[in-house]
Amino acid sequence: MSELWRQQGDPDPWKTVTQRYKVGQIVDGVVTKVVSFGAFVRIEGGVEGLLHSSQLPEKASGEAVYEGQRVRPRILYLDKERRRLSLSLRGVSQVVGTSETLCPACGRTISPDWKHCTYCGTTLAKVCPNCGAPRPDIEGVRFCFECGSQLE
């Protein structure tokens, strides 16, 4: 595994990890690797923790997390000397901000201005349920401009 923080000459982040993080704290992280027993999550350069599969949300079906996904886990265990960090997503809201949304088909985090989900290809543009024509981007429109059917 490449340790970018070492290449840049930065001090070892594990030496002061207990000054920045505490057990029970909710942190922002990025999934770096998915394995059969869970996933590894980077919470800062040089500091990764294990998100064990038993600590994924109970409602998770299929692939619960994926590489590159932003998550907000809770710290369950922190051992500075052994460089161990145990994380959990159970009971933690995964709402990161309003600048992102979830794809209605695959559930992955996407940008709200995308027209198609880059993960599953689902069209994200609002369309008329009757004829499939794009809905006009005008507030308060109640009828489709193409077929005249009422919009929800």
Tokens matching residue 109: 């985090």
pLDDT greater than 80 at residue 12: yes
Among candidates 56, 52, 47, which has minimal Cα distance to 84? Answer: 47
Return d(Cα 66, Cα 75) in angstroms, integer: 19
User: CATH 2.40.50.140 region(s) of the chain?
Assistant: 4-88
The pLDDT-based confidence of 77 (bands split at 50, 70, 90) is very high
| Helix, strand or coil, per DSSP, at residue 96 | coil
Within 10 angstroms of residue 82's Cβ, the number of other Cβ atoms is 8
Model confidence over 40-59: pLDDT tens digits?
A: 999 988 899 999 989 987 65
| Tokens read off for 34 | 């998915």
Section 75-79 average pLDDT = 94
Name the one residue in this structure whose structure tokens are 């161990």: 84
Give the pair of three-digit tokens for residue 133: 């024509």
The whole-model pTM stands at 0.56
Task: Give the separation between CA 143 and CA 135, rounded to whole angstroms.
Answer: 9
Task: Please write the tens of the pLDDT for every residue from 17-39.
Answer: 999 999 999 898 888 999 999 99
Residue-wise burial string across 94-120, b where 16 or more C-beta atoms lie within 10 A, e elsewhere: eeeeeeeeebeeebebbeeeeeebeee
Q: Which CATH superfamily is domain 4-88 in?
A: Nucleic acid-binding proteins (2.40.50.140)
Per-residue pLDDT, 64: 76
State the pLDDT at residue 143. Answer: 77
